[in-house]
Structure 1
Amino acid sequence: MHPKGLIYLKGKSANVGEARIALPVSTRLIYHLIRSTGAGIIAFVVIVFLFSFYPIVSQEVSYSLNKKIGKGIITDTVKVDLAEADRVIAVQKEADSYGINSYFSVAVPKINAYSNIIANVDTNNRDEYTKSLQNGVAHAKGTYFPGQGQDIFLFAHSTDSPVNIARYNAVFYLLRKLEKGDKILIYFADRKYLYEVEEKRLTDANDTSWITSTSGTERLLLMTCDPPGTTWRRLIVIAKPVFSS
């Protein structure tokens, strides 16, 4: 702080010069003190303002950003949920049109065979599987379910007379009529799985290897007695997966 300037004499004069005017030391000290104090007060006010209003400002900014981002997420989620709901309803309606559920059931349109499936039936427990077969098709315990990439083993009664079909619930009475390329539908957990027949095999009645063996790929195995109404042999239809929906 050094005020300075030019001092001129009135009129003409050769004596012209510059004079330095300085405030007293005490005045300068007071000036610097006031200036420093003022800057400190301003800084303090700014800091207090930031601490006081930062949470509010932060919440407002976060809300605005989340609203924009969240709106897109919610919209996409709703679209996905609606599409999934439509798919489930379509599968349920289709299964219902065959008189079966979409929880676990089988449909073979070519031979007019439709039945709900009892899951995880112990093939070593005669009482258990006999009771299950009275109600329809049984799924062998220890084998897999559709979509799991391994063998799915289903079995049911057959009979030697159409009169006894209802009595024995012989869903697979005409299983022997299936040929390569015929389609089999499995409904499981509100999804539809389509399989295509690849081959048929006749095996000994005591051959249980089909239940315990694995192929490393997904296959649908349908088994029943052959000839119908006897226990001489077992007929096994093997089908491969085509698609699911």
Structure 2
Amino acid sequence: MALYSYVKIRSTVKRRIAEILSVIFIFSGISLLSWVLFPIISFELYYAPKFNNLIKPIPAEIIKNTITNSLPAVLGVENADYTKASVWFPKAQNLKLASTNTSYTLSIPKLGIEKANVLVGGEDLSKSLIHFTGPLPGNFGNPVIFGHSTLLWFYNPKDYKSIFSKLPELDINDEILVDVDNVTYKYQVYEMKVVSPDNLSVLEQNYDNAYITLVTCVPPGTYFRRLIVRGKLVTI
């Protein structure tokens, strides 16, 4: 008499599919985590040594908070809207200028930024750069300009949501060009540093010369620090 055995082929197939899906989900999770951590690691290894005030490595708690805050952004759901200029330095207030000028343009040749619109006293960084405080460029004082950044793979110098993503690539003596009322003002970078969002000293005014300050969030794609690029007027 022949012996027969019953093999549950369907269960084996289901188990195999479950194993494949598990591998896919694990790989996707690792990829997503790497996607978020890459800007932090690359910034610390490549850019941070340029900034003499950035000495200590990022604490583990900050990295944890960054992952928590950045994952929603990668997935398209953010806790805070960092396209709003008022969020960047929560304790500061932007000052309205007594001027008829409502906008001007800014160019950074090294980064491929050409005549980007700067809105005076604006709020929406997804539509323009924002002149947050200070006099108009070309005057004594410190005009402070905010620009949004994002993960480097999304960089587009014509997209205001990513326009300042490569700001850390600037070096001392690089040029910043500003056009106000058909007059071009040329600034040279003389200082770059990284500060916390509660450091309001970068917004202070100094009237012994004509300065300019560019601000963006770093590492690109995160929000817990601010890169400050300062320039001095050299020619008109």
State the TM-score bracket (shorter-chain normalisation): 0.5 to 0.7
Distance 2:155 2:188 in 1: 28
Distance 2:142 2:117 in 1: 19
**Given residue 169 of structure 1, which amino acid in structure 2 is its aligned partner?**
K
Between 1:157-166 and 1:215-224, the stretch displaced more is 157-166
Q: Does 1:210 align with 2:202?
A: yes
Aligned runs of 1:173-184 on 2, under 5 Å?
173-184=165-176
Q: What residue number does 2:127 align with?
A: 135
8 Å Cα contact 1:136/1:170 also seen in 2: no
Q: What residue number does 1:198 align with?
A: 190
Higher helix share: 1
Identity %: 28
**Given residue 162 of structure 1, which amino acid in structure 2 is its aligned partner?**
W
Aligned runs of 1:4-153 on 2, under 5 Å?
104-114=104-114, 115-121=116-122, 129=123, 131=124, 133-141=125-133, 143-153=134-144
8 Å Cα contact 2:177/2:184 also seen in 1: yes
Deviation at 1:167, TM superposition (A): 6.5
**Given residue 227 of structure 1, which amino acid in structure 2 is its aligned partner?**
P
**What TM-score do you get using the length of structure 2 for normalisation?**
0.52
Distance 1:180 1:214 in 2: 20
8 Å Cα contact 2:109/2:176 also seen in 1: yes
Distance 1:229 1:168, change over 3 A: farther
Distance 2:198 2:215 in 1: 13
Unaligned runs of 5+ in 1: 1-102, 122-128
Distance 2:117 2:160 in 1: 15
Distance 1:190 1:210, change over 3 A: same
Select 1:169's aligned residue among 161, 186, 193.
Answer: 161
**Given residue 145 of structure 1, which amino acid in structure 2 is its aligned partner?**
L
8 Å Cα contact 1:136/1:171 also seen in 2: no
8 Å Cα contact 1:159/1:168 also seen in 2: no
Unaligned runs of 5+ in 2: 1-102
Distance 1:221 1:161 in 2: 22
What is the CA deviation profile of residues 159-191 of structure 1, one whole-angstrom value per residue up to 9, with x for unaligned ones?
113326577622111100000111110011110
What is the CA deviation profile of residues 12-50 of structure 1, one whole-angstrom value per residue up to 9, with x for unaligned ones?
xxxxxxxxxxxxxxxxxxxxxxxxxxxxxxxxxxxxxxx
Runs of 4+ in 1 over 3 A off after TM superposition: 164-168
Distance 1:225 1:194 in 2: 24
- Paired positions, count: 132
Distance 1:112 1:205, change over 3 A: same
Using CA pairs under 8 Å that are at least 6 residues apart, name the structure with larger relative contact order, 1 or 2: 2
What is the CA deviation profile of residues 184-238 of structure 1, one whole-angstrom value per residue up to 9, with x for unaligned ones?
1001111000011111011012222211343532111001001001111100111
**Given residue 137 of structure 2, which amino acid in structure 1 is its aligned partner?**
P
Distance 1:215 1:202, change over 3 A: farther
**What TM-score do you get using the length of structure 1 for normalisation?**
0.50
